Amino acid sequence: MKEHTRVVVIGGGIVGAAVLYHLTKLGWSDVVLVERKQLTAGSTWHAAGGFHAMNSDPNVARLQAYGISVYKEVEEISGQDVGMHLTGGINIAATPERWEAIRYEHARHKVLGIDSHLVGPEEIKKLCPIIDVSNVIGGLFDGNEGNIDPYGATHALAKSARMAGAEVYVNTMVEDLVHKSDGTWTVVTDKGNIQCEHVVNAAGLWAREVGAMAGVHVPIIPMEHHYILTGDIDELVEFDGELPMMIDLDGEMYLRQEQNGALLGVYEKNSTPWAVDGTSWDYGETDLLESRLDDIESALMQGFERFPALGDAGIRRIVNGPFTFAPDGNPLVGPVRGVQNYWSCCGVMAGFSQGSGVALVLSQWMIDGEPEGDVFAMDVNRFGAYATKSYAIEKGKEFYENRFALLCPNDEWPAARPLKVSAIHDRLQQANAVFGPSFGLETPLWFAPQGSEPIETPSFRRSNAHAPVGEECRAVRDSVGIIDISSIAKYEISGPDAVSYMDHLFASRLPDIGRIRMGPLLLPSGHMKGDLTVMRLAEEKFMVTGSGYLQEFHMLWFEQNSSGKKIRIVNRTDELSAIAIAGPGSRELMALATSADVDKKSMPFMSAQYVDVGPAPCLVARLSFTGELGYEMYVPSAYARRLYDYLLELGDSLGIRPFGIRALVSLGMEKSFGIWSREFTPDYTPAMCGMDRFVDYDKADFVGREAALADRDAKHEHKLVALEIDSIDADVWGYEPIWHKDDYAGFVTSGAYGHTVGKSLAMAYVRTPYLGAANGELSVHVVDQRRPASILAEPPHDPSGSRMRS
């Protein structure tokens, strides 16, 4: 066994083996994998081995497609048979709502790069003769699905890595991890110590234990999962071909052929978290769990109804095994904040669809310093301290039980809620707010009419929120609105090196004292890393604000770039609340609420100053995402409630009205403002997404400068534009395709109804040849229908910006 190496990958399941292979593929060959038993000894060996290319996130879909291509690659390199069955797969719909969702998904597949097509019951029956299609409306077929042999695939990856110089130590248990003062690691095993630069936690079922060795909490929970194997099925003995992977979304089950029988897996409603207090080291390479037939009986009965031939074939074997779920079902990949050179690659629920994709991302991150494209959906730093053990259990269980649930874009799942509430939560409740969580914090989405239940009907079309949100929007445009934006992230950066640090990190010019600037962050590749707001409070003191759900993501970036600098970076998100007022009456309200001068000269647009607002000491920032005259007030949380009451009381005569995030998004859309995760992501450079207007290319030095400069005048495939869509009863949400006749002309990034301009609006990346398309010449898929669309020459509301600057 080596005593020194560059990387130790802990865990020899499908994920660890894929990481080892990708590290070598990308150029690092001095790497080892340590496995306490034999390869596949965790969840991997008893998996059903199914893989899918379909995913609602374009980068995850791209990575899944890539992962499927890797199986052939390693089979050729290693000579190890991976047992690939590329059968194709069909998702079937048995309700009108599901059929609508499937058609919507199919439209989006054009954007996601998935080559799928819709199939009717007859074709489904032809491809899968054992199915009962009597209540099936249709399905979605994807040729890039099938199943793989878990043993063969894992060994082919590990062998290919070994052939490129990697080493694999089986029957070797990692017992401890010691972090040394230079940031490197001693990996303590039962066969001796290994010194290394980097450690990768790919320990699957034991990822929580391997996390704890480095003081890292891993928010995952293993869930028990059953599939049955049937005896021979007569129809299949005679069948000339192989069944596609069948997913009955409404029945929450999947089926594939296994020799002349079938494998049927179910996601039951009364699910069972496993090993909630930790996975025993004794759980072994051949262990399975006792089956819980009572728990899965009704799910199985549904399976037998859908595939009646199963009943005659009889059950040959029942498998119940555990595998891990993160709170949102996505993997936990990337550098772990606060623990240098410790990398997470766990929580991979669909290891055979995603193993190589996450391994590629992790390897790029380790070797190149950043992964390609936007991988936030799998970034370990999308969770924070709120994702405690109990949160992970409740959310993991909820995700498992809703594995194939019909998910509408306005769905807010209830488990583990409320968790964190803002200081004025009860006031918002009294006002009948409908809430949604952001980084664990309940935020007001909209306000239901008094006397009605504060519940939103999940729908792809306009919901019961539509009319109330319209009223909120009009109140902001006509008089004054008030909103709790406490979820916004607030970072204080100060110290003797704060100016040089900020100047290097941000691509924009720094604001003068008392002023505010938009602050794009770039990656060294010149792609976007963040879109923050920078307020300068003193010569060497800044307040930086941004989207709340990105707190760990931002903090990691700040810290990674702070080495050797005399600065203090404090995340003050929880200790500061934020209340904003906006609308033409907001200055009058401020004048009533504070003795400070609030005229245009004393408190100009994009200024920030400490001011007492009524009884509360606030940092007042003069800006608003609504596109109106507006003020954001940052206040220690202990004062927030008093401040809110005070403003509501004073604003009564001005017609003040609470509004929520839905209205904020609609108002921002009327101004064609982009937002992070939609229009701005690491997929784009500032020149692609229009953030270049905030970049100071003349600055001598900032992260990503050279690449951004080179990109500035490059020809780009797409341009970000605003669209008006002639839609009937629905608005777009994101990733809907745009067409010019039958040519693919681009895709939507976000959409909303513009209530005060009376238009359905969207932001979209349109391919350059179609930018000159005449009004109505383009069309956009709205749910399942193409609707005419036009590119807007300017924002539909206040294009000159005179209202927000007033």
Ligand X SMILES: Cc1cc2nc3c(=O)[nH]c(=O)nc-3n(C[C@H](O)[C@H](O)[C@H](O)COP(=O)(O)OP(=O)(O)OC[C@H]3O[C@@H](n4cnc5c(N)ncnc54)[C@H](O)[C@@H]3O)c2cc1C
Chain residues in the site for ligand X (CB under 6 A): 10-16, 34-37, 41-44, 46-51, 173-174, 202-206, 210, 225, 227, 319, 321-323, 346, 348-353
- Among candidate residues 10, 15, 38, the one with its CA nearest the CA of residue 348: 15
Closest to ligand X by CB, 170 vs 654, is 170
Q: Please tell me the number of Cα atoms within 13 Å of 289 on its side-chain side.
A: 19
**For residues 618 and 579, what is the distance between their CA atoms, to the nearest angstrom?**
10
**For residues 251 and 501, what is the distance between their CA atoms, to the nearest angstrom?**
55
Closest to ligand X by CB, 9 vs 745, is 9
- C-beta of 204: minimal distance to ligand X in Å? 2
CB 593 within 8 A of CB 603: no
Closest to ligand X by CB, 33 vs 493, is 33
- C-beta of 682: minimal distance to ligand X in Å? 25
Closest to ligand X by CB, 154 vs 438, is 154
Closest to ligand X by CB, 124 vs 264, is 264
Closest to ligand X by CB, 34 vs 488, is 34
Closest to ligand X by CB, 227 vs 446, is 227
- C-beta of 351: minimal distance to ligand X in Å? 3
Closest to ligand X by CB, 17 vs 661, is 17
Closest to ligand X by CB, 176 vs 794, is 176
Torsional sign, CA 465, 467, 471, 473: positive
Torsional sign, CA 225, 296, 56, 708: negative
Beta strands across the sheet bearing 568-571: 516-522, 528-538, 541-546, 489-494, 568-571
338 Rama sector, left if φ>0, alpha if ψ -120 to 50, beta otherwise: left
Single-letter amino acid code for the residue at 760: S
- C-beta of 699: minimal distance to ligand X in Å? 43
CB 214 within 8 A of CB 179: yes
- Among candidate residues 448, 460, 457, 467, the one with its CA nearest the CA of residue 409: 460
Closest to ligand X by CB, 173 vs 596, is 173
Closest to ligand X by CB, 210 vs 738, is 210
SS3 787: strand
Helices 351-368 and 150-163, packing angle to 10 deg: 20
**For residues 779 and 773, what is the distance between their CA atoms, to the nearest angstrom?**
11
- C-beta of 35: minimal distance to ligand X in Å? 5
- C-beta of 420: minimal distance to ligand X in Å? 30
Give every CB contact of residue 441 below 8 A, 6+ residues apart in sequence: 386, 419, 420, 421, 422, 486, 487, 548
| DSSP-assigned letter for residue 602 | T
- C-beta of 190: minimal distance to ligand X in Å? 9
Residues in the chain: 806
**For residues 500 and 504, what is the distance between their CA atoms, to the nearest angstrom?**
6
- C-beta of 116: minimal distance to ligand X in Å? 19
- Give the pairing type, strands 441-447 and 433-438: antiparallel
- C-beta of 210: minimal distance to ligand X in Å? 5
- C-beta of 37: minimal distance to ligand X in Å? 5
- Among candidate residues 204, 223, 254, the one with its CA nearest the CA of residue 321: 223
| DSSP-assigned letter for residue 304 | H
- C-beta of 345: minimal distance to ligand X in Å? 8
CB 640 within 8 A of CB 424: yes
Give every CB contact of residue 257 below 8 A, 6+ residues apart in sequence: 85, 87, 236, 242, 243, 263
